[in-house]
Structure 1
Amino acid sequence: MVSSTKTLFGVAALATTVLGHGYVIDPPARKPGPAMAAACGQQMFNNQNSDIYGNIQGELQVARNQADFDASKCNVWQCKGFQLADSPAQNVQSFRPGQVVPMTVEIRAPHEGTANVSIVSTASNTVIGSGPLISWDVYASNAAPIPADQTKFDVTIPEDIGGQCAQPGDCVLQWYWDARSIDQTYEACVDFVVGGGGGGGDGQAPAPSSPPPVASPTAPLPTSSASPTASSATSSAAPTPTAAPQDPVGGGSGSGDGSVPESFTLDTFIAWLRTKAGGNNARRHARQLM
Structure 2
Amino acid sequence: MKQTGTILALAGLASMAHGHGFVTTPKARMPGTAFQEACGQQMYYNQKADNYGNIQGELQIAKGQSDYNAAKCNVWLCKGFKFEDNKDNVFQYTPGQTVSFDVDVRAPHTGVANVSVVDTTSNTVIGQPLKSWTDYASVASGVKESDKKFSVTLPTDLGSKCSKPGACVLQWYWFAQSIDQTYESCVDFTVGGSGAGFASVASQPASSAASVAGATASSTATGIAVTSTPKTGNNVAAPSGFATSAKPSATSVSVSASSPAGSTVAIPIHGTAEEKLNWVASLLQTLIKYTA
Q: Answer whether TM exceeds 0.5 for this pair.
A: yes
Confirm or deny that 1:92 pairs with 2:90. Answer: yes
Contact kept? 2:15, 2:50, Cα under 8 Å: no
* Secondary structure at the counterpart of residue 174 of structure 1: strand
In the TM superposition, what whole-angstrom CA distance separates every residue of 1:106-128 from its partner, at most 9, and x where no partner exists?
00111000000000000000000
Contact kept? 2:119, 2:126, Cα under 8 Å: yes
* Distance apart, 1:87 and its partner CA: 1.1
* Distance apart, 1:197 and its partner CA: 2.1
Unpaired stretches in structure 1, ≥5 consecutive residues: 1-10, 204-290
Which one has the largest radius of gyration?
A: 1
Q: Which residue of 2 aligns with 1:21?
A: 20
Q: Which residue of 2 aligns with 1:71?
A: 70
The alignment-based identity, stated in percent, is 58
Q: Which residue of 2 aligns with 1:170?
A: 167
Task: Say if 1:55 and 1:187 are closer, same or farther in 2 by CA, change over 3 A.
Answer: same
Contact kept? 2:41, 2:67, Cα under 8 Å: no
Q: Which residue of 1 aligns with 2:32?
A: 33
Contact kept? 1:18, 1:58, Cα under 8 Å: no
Contact kept? 2:92, 2:198, Cα under 8 Å: no
Task: Say if 1:18 and 1:42 are closer, same or farther in 2 by CA, change over 3 A.
Answer: farther
In the TM superposition, what whole-angstrom CA distance separates every residue of 1:158-203 from its partner, at most 9, and x where no partner exists?
0001100011110000000000100100000000000112232237
Distance 1:67 1:41 in 2: 8
* Distance apart, 1:17 and its partner CA: 11
Distance 2:81 2:21 in 1: 15
What amino acid is aligned across from residue 39 of structure 1 in structure 2? A
What amino acid is aligned across from residue 152 of structure 2 in structure 1? V
Task: Say what the alpha-carbon RMSD is for the aligned residues.
Answer: 1.9
What amino acid is aligned across from residue 149 of structure 1 in structure 2? S
Task: Say if 1:138 and 1:187 are closer, same or farther in 2 by CA, change over 3 A.
Answer: same
In the TM superposition, what whole-angstrom CA distance separates every residue of 1:75-112 from its partner, at most 9, and x where no partner exists?
000000000111152x2000100000001100011100
What amino acid is aligned across from residue 149 of structure 2 in structure 1? K
Return the TM-score normalized by structure 2.
0.62
Distance 1:17 1:135 in 2: 28
Distance 1:17 1:102 in 2: 27
* Distance apart, 1:68 and its partner CA: 2.0
Unpaired stretches in structure 2, ≥5 consecutive residues: 1-9, 203-292
Q: Which residue of 2 aligns with 1:138?
A: 135
Aligned counterpart in structure 1 of residue 183 of structure 2, from 176, 186, 189:
186
Higher RCO (CA < 8 A, seq sep 6+): 2
Distance 1:33 1:113 in 2: 29
In the TM superposition, what whole-angstrom CA distance separates every residue of 1:3-54 from its partner, at most 9, and x where no partner exists?
xxxxxxxx99xx5998220000000000011110011111110111100100
Q: Which residue of 1 aligns with 2:60?
A: 61
Runs of 4+ residues over 4 Å off in structure 1: 15-18
What amino acid is aligned across from residue 120 of structure 2 in structure 1? T
Aligned counterpart in structure 2 of residue 103 of structure 1, from 97, 101, 111:
101
